């Protein structure tokens, strides 16, 4: 294969790897439902309704205690207050449901969640295809060894990043509070994994050399025995 074709294929493979790695982070560019301004504004109405109802209930109790309101009228006013509260909450929940519907995408509560799920699925599909190609076309490993190694390191890094995210961060991570800590931890883990791999490779190489030396000693011994027998 010509150098030009190798370069073009390397760029294609590298670009594919980048899309796989980036797909798990693209959702961070989109707002979750709770940060959407219309939803945030409406969400605050719930506390206002409850607080307003409690204040009016306190006023009724105060009037009852001061004798400004008798028991029958207090009961009537309290029932009206509860009915008004129920009506306001029904409207609140109806509007909330409407806003959720407007912000949802393909059954997901937001495009952010959709992008997150799509990214994970796309990464899994991509890795499955890569594994299939490596099994069916083993020659590609030697042909594109460097880009495959770089891609593998990238996959280890991204995988450990989201593993730590799942284990230690239960909310949407904040760039200032979490990002650098996760990146550093993921980078260190990746380096440790690579180091362990090369240590394993070094140990296996030493074993092979030892077995080879041992076999040569055995062969030499056999040759010496055969030579002594013939003399």
* Ordered mean pLDDT values, 10 residues apiece, the chain (231 residues): 70 82 81 85 91 90 82 87 92 91 84 86 85 79 77 85 77 56 82 83 72 62 58 56
Model pLDDT, residue 140: 74
Residues in CB range of 156: below 8 A, 6 or more apart? 189, 190, 193, 194
Kindly state the greatest CA–CA separation across the chain: 132
pLDDT for the residue 176: 45
- 51 close to 33: Cβ distance less than 8 angstroms: no
Torsion 65-68-72-77 (CA) sign: negative
Backbone angles phi, psi at 105, to 5 degrees: -135, 120
pLDDT of 92 reads 92
- Going by C-alpha positions, the residue among 55, 54, 74, 56 that lies closest to residue 64 is 74
- Tokens representing residue 196 in the block: 């362990």
3-state secondary structure of 32: coil
pTM metric for this prediction: 0.61
Output the pLDDT for position 114. Answer: 87
DSSP-derived 3-state class of residue 108: strand
């Amino acid at each position: 294969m010509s150098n030009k074709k190798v370069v073009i294929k390397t760029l294609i493979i590298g670009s594919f790897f980048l899309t796989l790695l980036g797909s798990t982070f693209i959702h961070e560019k989109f707002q979750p439902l709770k940060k959407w301004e219309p939803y945030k504004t409406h969400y605050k109405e719930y506390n206002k309704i409850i607080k307003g109802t409690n204040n009016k209930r306190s006023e009724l109790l105060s009037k009852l205690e001061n004798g400004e309101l008798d028991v029958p009228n207090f009961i009537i006013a309290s029932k009206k207050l509860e009915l008004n509260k129920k009506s306001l909450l029904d409207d609140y929940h109806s509007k909330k449901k409407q806003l959720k519907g407007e912000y949802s995408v393909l059954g997901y509560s937001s495009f952010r969640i959709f992008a997150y799920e799509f990214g994970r699925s796309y990464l899994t599909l991509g890795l499955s295809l890569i594994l299939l190609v490596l099994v069916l076309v083993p020659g590609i490993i030697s042909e594109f060894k460097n880009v495959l190694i770089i891609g593998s390191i990238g996959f280890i890094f991204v995988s450990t990043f989201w593993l730590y995210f799942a284990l230690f961060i239960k909310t949407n991570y904040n760039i200032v509070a979490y990002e650098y800590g996760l990146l550093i931890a993921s980078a260190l883990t990746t380096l440790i994994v690579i180091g362990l791999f090369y240590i394993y490779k070094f140990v296996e190489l030493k074993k092979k050399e030892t077995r080879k030396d041992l076999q040569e000693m055995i062969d030499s011994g056999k040759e010496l025995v055969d030579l002594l027998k013939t003399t």
